Amino acid sequence: MNTPISHQAPPAHTLKLAVIGAGPAGLSLALQAAQALPQAHVTVFDARPADKDIAGDARTLALSQGTVQELQRMGIWDAIEATGRSAPILQVHVSQQQPTVLWPGEQQPEVRISAREQGVPQLGAVVSYGTLVAPLQQAWLAAVDAAEHRCAMRFGTPVRGLKGLDSGIEVDADIAESFDLVVVAEGGVFADQAKLSWPQGVSHDYQQTAWVGQVQLEDDGEPGMAFERFTTSGPAALLPLPPGPVSPGGPSGKRAALVWCVQQGDDPVRSLNDAQRLTLLNTIFHPAVGRIKQLSALKDFPLGLNAHRQLVNERAIVRIGNAAQTLHPVAGQGFNLGMRDVHELLEALKRTVWAVEDDAPTRQMKVERALRQFQRRRQPDRWALLATTDFLARSFTLPAPALATLRGLGLGAVGRFSPVKKLIARSMMFGWR
């Protein structure tokens, strides 16, 4: 349940926090910070206008079970489920299109992970971006109304610059305002980001394209199945969606979200029409998928890696989510990594003893100490996932026969050794701990 936001007279603040970006990570942080730090002043900045409807944003997000649990603790998950636009992931099936020539078994290697064998109600869930952000935004605006003396929402206010002060950070957004801590949660997609170079960070253009859309499947498959298929061009995935049409006015049926990654220099998708794309799709996935009956219009996005080496700079500016790392969708973990950033940052702030008597230098010292704890605890999880997804993404550009065999043998080993499979399943649900 949410901790109620107080209607009492304005108290002196113990911490002045700015969150840049009203996406799911930024709103989650702001909402929980206002609940957990009842004397903190929290302001959210976002460039989008207040009247922009976000509920209809159909971009697909795969939520890990850890993220679902976080949303449940915030009191947001019930509102998401009430929309009827979320779907549980009950099983994950990973396989490879190319044969593994050294595999001794009659069937090609594969990995199946189920919620039942992992002892959880679901491995995760699939929602649209709008379905997730709309209730988060509604909850934050309710918090602002209830405690306007310490919570603020600045729609239509792009942040043009940040400047370190002797104590705190100056935010340039129409007017200059100083804060004890600034959290940058506005990252965007790889194509729109400035490329990084070491020691600032790591940047790599995979020269791959992700084609995304929806498909309609035969109704005789198992419910809640997510499929990942390593193909000759790159990974392709199907994520379960609630029943419905894949095109406006089309027939309703069993649906899945499609993420189809291919090499830009040898793109088998771009030049095809819809009927040809549908035919090709039916040749690449595992037979367990069944027949793909219909395909929506597809959108394409370039894929790459951008990862800041440090999460904290200027002593009191911290990056989370896509502002800290943008990675390949091969593991479907980008947003979940951001939510783990949110969780760990909140834990560091909650462990700190804040007092209204603190002067600005004291608050600065406490902020810096909390951010050092946050960065130290986050780095192992984020770099482990970054290294894993980077290796998998790059592997599709290496000599195909050798890599296909290695990937296949790896799949077979994971599928046969339960402790390894359980370790991977737990890391996908809750991160590397």
How many Cα atoms within 13 Å fall on the side-chain side of residue 22? Answer: 28
In a domain, 181, yes or no: yes
Confidence (pLDDT) at 1: 46
Question: Which residue range is the domain that position 380 belongs to?
Answer: 15-57+129-201+305-393
Q: How far is Cα 130 from Cα 85, in angstroms, rounded to an integer? A: 10
Percent of the chain scored above 90 by pLDDT? 81
Give me the DSSP letters along 206-239. EEEEEEEEEEEE-TTSPTTEEEEEE-SSSEEEEE
Beta bridge pairs of residue 244: 253
In a domain, 287, yes or no: no
In a domain, 195, yes or no: yes
Confidence (pLDDT) at 170: 97
pLDDT score of 8 more than 50: no
Amino acid, res. 174: D
Q: How confident is the model at residue 180 (pLDDT cuts 50, 70, 90)?
A: very high
Instruction: Supply 303's token pair.
Output: 């894929």
SS3 content of the chain, % helix, strand, coil (to 5): 35, 30, 35
Number of independent structural domains in the chain:
1
Confidence (pLDDT) at 406: 80
How do residues 289-346 score in pLDDT, each as one tens digit? 999 999 999 999 999 999 999 999 989 999 999 999 999 999 889 999 999 999 999 9
In a domain, 271, yes or no: no
In a domain, 295, yes or no: no
In a domain, 183, yes or no: yes
Confidence (pLDDT) at 5: 52
pLDDT score of 212 more than 80: yes
pLDDT score of 285 more than 90: yes
Strands (E), 85-234: 87-89, 91-96, 110-114, 124-128, 151-154, 161-164, 169-173, 175-179, 181-184, 201-217, 225-230
pLDDT score of 432 more than 90: no
How do residues 406-418 score in pLDDT, each as one tens digit? 888 888 888 888 8
Q: How confident is the model at residue 168 (pLDDT cuts 50, 70, 90)?
A: very high
Mean pLDDT score, 200-211 = 96
In a domain, 243, yes or no: no
Q: What angle (nearest 5°) sits at the alpha carbon of residue 61, between those of residues 57 and 63?
A: 140
What mean pLDDT, rounded, does the chain reach? Answer: 92
**Residue 370: which CATH number?**
3.50.50.60
Sheet holding 151-154, edge to edge: 151-154, 40-45, 15-20, 181-184, 317-319, 312-313
Contact 63, 335 (CB under 8 A): yes
Decide the pairing of beta strands 15-20 and 181-184.
Answer: parallel
Q: How confident is the model at residue 226 (pLDDT cuts 50, 70, 90)?
A: very high
Which residue has better confidence, 10 or 287? 287
Model pTM score: 0.93
pLDDT score of 223 more than 80: yes
Confidence (pLDDT) at 11: 57
Mean pLDDT score, 32-37 = 96
Percent of the chain scored above 70 by pLDDT? 96
The torsion of the CA quartet 229, 232, 235, 237, rounded to 10 degrees, works out to: -40
